[in-house]
Amino acid sequence: VARARAWAAAGAILLAGATTAICGPIGFVGLVVPHACRLLTGTDHRWLLPFAALAGACLLLAADILGRLIARPAELDVGIVTALLGGPVFIWIVRRQKIREL
């Protein structure tokens, strides 16, 4: 059972990576932001959906501003900044789910 769970977790991570590679970095925001918002709003979709939409827009805006400010006079791509911000959050969510299942 433990081996099957490990394979399932690895598969989920690989599928999320493939989704990001195909859809681009903005699709990654669509994967991470709703899970992070669920921690703040709970499972009620009346609150979760508008909060996740607003949080996703704010995250992309903040990533764009950071990308313009950090590498001045050049620019960092929004995808690089969202990967740097969202990658650790995604890993934390996956680890949190694994710990809760134990």
DSSP 42: -
pLDDT of res. 43: 87
Q: Is 44 helix (H, G, I), strand (E, B) or coil?
A: coil
Percentages helix, strand, coil for the chain, rounded to the nearest 5? 85, 0, 15
Closest CA to 59 of 92, 93, 91, 25: 25
Token representation of residue 10: 């690895």
Contact 28, 77 (CB under 8 A): no
pLDDT in tens, 37-90: 988 898 899 999 999 999 999 999 999 999 999 888 888 888 888 878 877 877
- Residue 98 clears pLDDT 80, i.e. is over it: no
